[in-house]
Chain A
Amino acid sequence: MTAYLLKRFLIGALTLVFASLVVFSVLEILPGDPARLMLGMNASEETVQVLREQMGLNQPLLLRYFDWAGGLLTLDFGKSYTYSVPVIDLIAERVVVSLPLAIMALFLSTVIAIPVGVFAAQRRGRTADTLSMGAAQIGVAIPNFWFALILIYIFAVWLRLVPAGGFPGWNAGVWPAFKALILPAVALALPQAAILARVTRSALLEVLGEDYIRTARAKGMPRSHVLWRHALRNAMIPVLTILGLQFAFLLAGTIIIENVFYLPGLGRLIFQAITQRDLIVVESVVMLLVATVIVVNLLVDLSYAIVDPRLRSRQ
């Protein structure tokens, strides 16, 4: 068990190191002179020189990487060029929008998808199965940002139940802030839920064909008992894998959805940073998101060990 955990942990740490190398080379080495890129061709040589100095671009490459990576570890991401404030402050301000949004979406998608998947698997081949999987098939095909537009049209423009966009901030009270996140969360969650429901159903059906299901039935266990007590836990392994992958998509999805709803989250921040060529902000936020994906995948690996005893005793 410890060996497995340790191995997964080391792999996660190693991936993080390599990911930081990728981000650093793409954003700091590839452009040649990041300072010139940020300021544009019209900037004077002196201003560029000042920024170079400020970003430490005159130092040798290796030193620059270690400076930057060391900064990441101590949460010192540098200072935004356009906002002139430490990037960490910008992130802290935005994360309180993006994180609740991602968690709400993940929660919604899980609580919708897994019961639907189980429901459909139980009624395989019947109308209820065909209908719910048909709906899922369409759900998978809907781009979340288009779905968001439709939601805005129905619930904000037409029914006027929720705001069409913007975020009042948590200071304005929990309910108004929460209300502003409902539509974005639904828009993010439903297409993911459709995928998850399909995976849950097919994983369950595959498990239901296993020999040990027959053994359990031969013991006198009724179908529903066998499904919940024997099949579901075995089917969780592929479901967890997809859940881990989905988190990465959800994070990416927040970038789009925050732009649809004008939410001041990390996605909006990164998007504004691109338009303003604020590379310092871009690399910090990208690194943060990549690190989150890696950590979530690590958590998925750990949850395998909880679900599957074979992993606990081997390796």
Chain B
Amino acid sequence: MSLLEIENLSLRIGETPILKDVDLTIGAGEVMGLVGESGSGKSMTALTVMQLLPNAASAEGRVSFDGIDILAATEDRMCQLRGDDIGMVFQEPMTALNPVKTIGEQVAEGIRWHTRVSRAEAEARARQILDRVGLPEQKFPLSRYPHQLSGGQRQRVIIAIACALKPKLLIADEPTTALDVVLQAQILELLRDLVDENRMGLLLISHDLAVVTQMADRITILRHGEVTEAGETALTLSKQAHPYTRQLALASTHVPERRVLSSLEGEKKPLLDVQNISRAYAGQRLSIFRNAEPFRAVDDVSFSISPGQSTALVGRSGCGKSTLARMILALDRPTGGAIRFMGETLTGKDEAALKPARRNMQVVFQDPYGSFNPRHKVERLISEPLHLLEKQPSAAERGEMVAAALREVGLRPEDMDKYSHEFSGGQRQRLSIARAIITRPKLVVADEPVSALDVSIRAQILDLFADLNQRLGVAYLFITHDLTVARAITDHVMIMHEGKIVERGPTGEVLDHPQSEAAKALVAAAPDLHRAIARRMQEQG
């Protein structure tokens, strides 16, 4: 008998079907990967096992954990199981801890509740598990509050809470999605070790095929609430028997077809020239009269981009890459250095003088939901940069320009009368790109433009970027923490670390043979589907 057995599980929330006939088993000490795109029902499967579903949900089928019928269990019985026999780790470390309680209280609470030991005893055990997850006492006493910890550290606390009583089953729902690749690798390793030490079963939920392949013994692929394929990880992914498996695997490793624009490469004059730029923020106040040293988010950075060139700016979260992007876009003022764009100095200019530069430099953001004013129609959204033109176009001209831009990104001109919420995430990112290219800019700065998208959509958007680069000759500055994206779409790469650019060069070269410590760490941590499958095959001989 397996530890967890899910048979014919169907779930609806109100009238909406969420899961249909899902089967899944996990044995003791086994890692099961549950993969699927957003809305496939992965998280709901996990919440069913925990019985933490929304009130309106109704589940049918059989879920049995360690011989206990979960769907029939009383709330009291579930309270005994949760946190003791089943632990759960969530996606968002920034909001998953109670901000007004110390980490010690939050870890010890579950221990006291389940084992009825004294406060001192519970705290001692909380101390042990925090030490185990990599939060040693000297730096992380029990009296720390969540806001005093970084995202990665908070996720460790949440893992400590989940694993404090050595549960038989651990459920991790996208545990590393909110973290950068280096932190991701560390957290995954920690989970792996904890599972091995205590022979826990692990249900690892992720949208990232590479992550799951690294970790899971077996995988289950979920699509629209149904299991499309399940089986041993290496076998399933190498055979790719089901077309959807194949589609997912292809999309995860997709590289758009593109050739280097040699004609433009030769040009001497750089499009963008950044010289010794810095951005410092006032330090945190230590006491009333004393501030800490100013924090240098960007520290003496220089580089240039030629016309038509696609450059990646890669680094861990908090390394200063977004601040750098904002300064290039003249949305934030540098504290030192100069930025020249098409031969003109941008730094220190007022908004009116920046207009010509802004026409030639546009931006695409990460969040396809937050990038549009929800109260405007597409025509108004897309035409916003036309504000920058010398002569304001007439209504008819404006409509034509919007229609042309929509066509460029693969949408229909009729779409201009809709609101942004009528589009899917991928379509919204197309809208975002249409807005960026409507003034025919020479440079587009894209800040994590595909990291919020599902893999299959991501592949399409990368193709679009590549296509526009070829056809319009627009140069890109791609900001990303994802090396797969950098590899797929850029000619040059710059590795940023703690405000400085530590390594740069042609993308393939740098990523294949990293020299700096920061680059090596990034490359080592980056999940790679092919490598992961190969390693799995090897392990099994």
Instruction: Assess whether A218 is in contact with B50, with CB atoms less than 8 Å apart.
Output: yes
B residues within 8 A CB of A229?
Answer: 109
CB of B83 to closest CB in A, whole Å: 3
In the complex formed, the residue of A with least CB distance to B88 is A218
Known A-B contacts A2-B288, A219-B83, A315-B285; the reply to A308 vs B98 at CB < 8 A is no
Chain A 206-262 residues near chain B, CB threshold 8 A: 210-212, 214-223, 225, 229-230, 233-234
Choose among B87, B147, B148, B284 the residue that contacts A218 (Cβ–Cβ < 8 A).
B87
CB of B86 to closest CB in A, whole Å: 8
Instruction: Assess whether B98 is in contact with A221, with CB atoms less than 8 Å apart.
Output: no
Is A182 an interface residue, CB under 8 A from the partner? Answer: no
A residues within 8 A CB of B76?
Answer: 222
Instruction: Assess whether B145 is in contact with A220, with CB atoms less than 8 Å apart.
Output: no
Is A3 an interface residue, CB under 8 A from the partner? Answer: yes
Instruction: Assess whether B285 is in contact with A214, with CB atoms less than 8 Å apart.
Output: no
B residues within 8 A CB of A160?
Answer: none
Cα distance, A234 to B145, chains bound together (Å): 14
B residues within 8 A CB of A314?
Answer: 284
Choose among B98, B284, B288 the residue that contacts A212 (Cβ–Cβ < 8 A).
B98
Instruction: Assess whether A218 is in contact with B92, with CB atoms less than 8 Å apart.
Output: no
Instruction: Assess whether A220 is in contact with B81, with CB atoms less than 8 Å apart.
Output: yes
Is B387 an interface residue, CB under 8 A from the partner? Answer: no
Cα distance, A233 to B109, chains bound together (Å): 16
A residues within 8 A CB of B147?
Answer: 309-310, 313
Cα distance, A222 to B75, chains bound together (Å): 8
Cα distance, A210 to B90, chains bound together (Å): 12
Chain B 266-290 residues near chain A, CB threshold 8 A: 284-285, 287-288
Choose among B96, B100, B161, B284 the residue that contacts A233 (Cβ–Cβ < 8 A).
B100
In the complex formed, the residue of A with least CB distance to B76 is A222
Instruction: Assess whether B100 is in contact with A220, with CB atoms less than 8 Å apart.
Output: no
B residues within 8 A CB of A313?
Answer: 145, 147-148
Cα distance, A221 to B82, chains bound together (Å): 8
Instruction: Assess whether A220 is in contact with B97, with CB atoms less than 8 Å apart.
Output: no
Cα distance, A101 to B285, chains bound together (Å): 43
Is A307 an interface residue, CB under 8 A from the partner? Answer: yes
Is B72 an interface residue, CB under 8 A from the partner? Answer: no
Interface of B is mostly: mixed
CB of A312 to closest CB in B, whole Å: 9
Cα distance, A223 to B82, chains bound together (Å): 13
Is B158 an interface residue, CB under 8 A from the partner? Answer: yes
A residues within 8 A CB of B80?
Answer: 220
Instruction: Assess whether A230 is in contact with B101, with CB atoms less than 8 Å apart.
Output: yes
Is A159 an interface residue, CB under 8 A from the partner? Answer: no
| Interface-central residue, A215, A223, A315, by most chain B CB under 10 Å | A215
Cα distance, A220 to B110, chains bound together (Å): 7
Instruction: Assess whether B287 is in contact with A220, with CB atoms less than 8 Å apart.
Output: no
Instruction: Assess whether B99 is in contact with A309, with CB atoms less than 8 Å apart.
Output: yes
Instruction: Assess whether A218 is in contact with B100, with CB atoms less than 8 Å apart.
Output: no
Cα distance, A221 to B148, chains bound together (Å): 25
Known A-B contacts A217-B52, A230-B101, A310-B147; the reply to A3 vs B285 at CB < 8 A is yes
B residues within 8 A CB of A233?
Answer: 100-101
CB of A236 to closest CB in B, whole Å: 9
Cα distance, A56 to B88, chains bound together (Å): 75
CB of A226 to closest CB in B, whole Å: 10
Cα distance, A313 to B102, chains bound together (Å): 13
CB of B126 to closest CB in A, whole Å: 12
CB of B351 to closest CB in A, whole Å: 31
Instruction: Assess whether B96 is in contact with A214, with CB atoms less than 8 Å apart.
Output: yes
Cα distance, A310 to B100, chains bound together (Å): 8
Q: How many residues of chain B are within 8 Å of chain A by beta carbon?
A: 37
B residues within 8 A CB of A223?
Answer: 75
B residues within 8 A CB of A2?
Answer: 287-288
Cα distance, A309 to B84, chains bound together (Å): 29
In the complex, per-residue mask of B501-533: 1 if CB is within 8 Å of any chain A CB, else 0: 000000000000000000000000000000000
Q: How many residues of chain A are within 8 Å of chain B by beta carbon?
A: 28
Instruction: Assess whether B52 is in contact with A214, with CB atoms less than 8 Å apart.
Output: yes
A residues within 8 A CB of B82?
Answer: 217-220
Choose among A216, A217, A310 the residue that contacts B99 (Cβ–Cβ < 8 A).
A310
CB of B278 to closest CB in A, whole Å: 25
CB of B290 to closest CB in A, whole Å: 10
In the complex formed, the residue of B with least CB distance to A207 is B98
Choose among A212, A230, A307, A309 the residue that contacts B96 (Cβ–Cβ < 8 A).
A212
A residues within 8 A CB of B109?
Answer: 216, 219, 221, 229
Instruction: Assess whether B100 is in contact with A307, with CB atoms less than 8 Å apart.
Output: yes
Is B198 an interface residue, CB under 8 A from the partner? Answer: no
Instruction: Assess whether A3 is in contact with B288, with CB atoms less than 8 Å apart.
Output: yes
Is B114 an interface residue, CB under 8 A from the partner? Answer: yes
Cα distance, A314 to B95, chains bound together (Å): 18
Cα distance, A150 to B433, chains bound together (Å): 66
Is A141 an interface residue, CB under 8 A from the partner? Answer: no
In the complex, per-residue mask of B48-59: 1 if CB is within 8 Å of any chain A CB, else 0: 001010000000
B residues within 8 A CB of A215?
Answer: 90, 96-98, 106, 158, 161
Chain B 91-150 residues near chain A, CB threshold 8 A: 92, 95-102, 106, 109-110, 113-114, 145, 147-148
Instruction: Assess whether B84 is in contact with A230, with CB atoms less than 8 Å apart.
Output: no
Cα distance, A180 to B96, chains bound together (Å): 51
Is B73 an interface residue, CB under 8 A from the partner? Answer: no
Instruction: Assess whether A221 is in contact with B96, with CB atoms less than 8 Å apart.
Output: no
In the complex, per-residue mask of A77-112: 1 if CB is within 8 Å of any chain B CB, else 0: 000000000000000000000000000000000000
CB of A206 to closest CB in B, whole Å: 13
A residues within 8 A CB of B92?
Answer: 211
Is A6 an interface residue, CB under 8 A from the partner? Answer: yes
In the complex formed, the residue of B with least CB distance to A221 is B113
Choose among B95, B98, B145, B287 the residue that contacts A216 (Cβ–Cβ < 8 A).
B98
Is B79 an interface residue, CB under 8 A from the partner? Answer: yes
CB of B200 to closest CB in A, whole Å: 15
A residues within 8 A CB of B88?
Answer: 218
In the complex, per-residue mask of A120-148: 1 if CB is within 8 Å of any chain B CB, else 0: 00000000000000000000000000000
Cα distance, A217 to B86, chains bound together (Å): 12
A residues within 8 A CB of B99?
Answer: 212, 234, 308-310
Instruction: Assess whether A221 is in contact with B110, with CB atoms less than 8 Å apart.
Output: yes
CB of A311 to closest CB in B, whole Å: 10
Cα distance, A234 to B288, chains bound together (Å): 28
Cα distance, A6 to B97, chains bound together (Å): 29
Instruction: Assess whether B90 is in contact with A211, with CB atoms less than 8 Å apart.
Output: yes
Instruction: Assess whether A218 is in contact with B52, with CB atoms less than 8 Å apart.
Output: yes
Cα distance, A229 to B99, chains bound together (Å): 12
Chain B 302-359 residues near chain A, CB threshold 8 A: none
Chain B 251-276 residues near chain A, CB threshold 8 A: none
Known A-B contacts A211-B96, A233-B100, A234-B100; the reply to A218 vs B83 at CB < 8 A is yes
CB of B375 to closest CB in A, whole Å: 24
CB of B520 to closest CB in A, whole Å: 34
The 7 residue pairs across chains A and B that have the minimum distance between CB atoms: A220-B83, A219-B83, A219-B110, A220-B82, A211-B95, A218-B88, A212-B98
Q: List 13 A-B contacts (CB under 8 A).
A: A210-B95, A212-B97, A212-B98, A217-B82, A218-B50, A218-B52, A219-B83, A219-B110, A220-B81, A220-B84, A234-B100, A309-B99, A309-B145
Other 13 A-B pairs with CB < 8 A, given A220-B83, A223-B75, A234-B100: A211-B90, A212-B98, A215-B98, A219-B109, A219-B110, A219-B161, A220-B79, A220-B80, A220-B114, A221-B79, A222-B75, A233-B101, A310-B145
Residue ranges of A at the interface with B (Cβ–Cβ < 8 Å): 2-3, 6, 210-212, 214-223, 225, 229-230, 233-234, 307-310, 313-315
